Structure 1
Amino acid sequence: MKTIITFGTFDVFHIGHLRILQRAEKLGERLIVGVSSDALNIQKKGRAPVYSQSERMDIVASLKCVDSVFLEESLEQKAGYIRQFQADTLVMGDDWAGRFDSFSYLCEVVYFPRTPAVSTTSIIEVIKTY
């Protein structure tokens, strides 16, 4: 069974999130998704997500293309997560292109193009103006 793994915040879930997960699912038989913890997001982005980690995990877990969800608590643990879930392929958005090539000794690394003109940050900024 070919296992695909990906990671993300998945805050203010939008069509770009859905498309990358659907494309990732097509690469194998099992899709495992690491949802970034609230603490990790504060560390990475300097702000808490709009939705809590448990809400974001519930949203992602409810998708039919997703087989399993876990909480990603550290960027430094990606190799450990790949090993833990015995992933054959790591999928990330192309905004991370090249950043995870170092894991190619563990699994195939694939970068998918982002959905044009869709980003959580820009959606949050639009909402703030209302």
Structure 2
Amino acid sequence: MRIITFGTFDMFHVGHLNILERARKLGSHLTVGVSADALNFSKKQRYPICDQDERMRIISALKCVDDVFVEESLELKGEYIRRFNADCLVMGDDWAGKFDEFKSLCEVVYLPRTPSISTTELIEIVRAAPLRNKED
């Protein structure tokens, strides 16, 4: 079974790794669409901390990932599913129900997120951390 998933994967963390490894276990091939910088800006009104080339390189290096491509538009998900011959779309359960429209193209599975970790949380923690004095 060919699996496809999508994400920004900014500030890569164990939650990202967990969902990718679990997605891969559902099939024999995992294709990952990494959101383009412009797409991320259109969704969140901010650019990722790591640019799309860096994020693509990180995702490509994972042994659980077989193919990686840049996701240019949310409206092209159906086309990506067809292009990569996906049998199953896997997303985190924070998206539950939002991709059910693709059930006519493939199976749609929502996996539980890793509790207590998100890129947004990590960014806020880093922003709130006091700056260290070089002499410390």
Class of the TM-score when normalised by the shorter of the 2 chains: over 0.9
Deviations 1:11-61 (A, max 9, x none): 000000000000000011100000000000000001000000000000000
Classify the secondary structure of the residue corresponding to 1:111: strand
Give the distance between the partners of 1:76 and 1:128, measured in 2 at CA. Answer: 33
Q: Which 4+ stretches in 1 moved above 2 angstroms? A: none
Cα offset for 1:81? 0.1
Amino acid at match of 2:107: E
Give the distance between the partners of 2:36 and 2:77, measured in 1 at CA. Answer: 13
Amino acid at match of 1:26: K
Task: Report percent identity of matched pairs.
Answer: 65
Give the distance between the partners of 1:123 and 1:59, measured in 2 at CA. Answer: 18
Give the distance between the partners of 1:7 and 1:45, measured in 2 at CA. Answer: 16
2:24 counterpart residue number:
25
Structure 1: gaps spanning 5 or more residues: none
Cα offset for 1:77? 0.1
Tell me the TM-score normalized by structure 2.
0.94
Structure 2: gaps spanning 5 or more residues: 130-136
Deviations 1:67-106 (A, max 9, x none): 0100000000000000000000000000000000010000
RMSD: 0.4
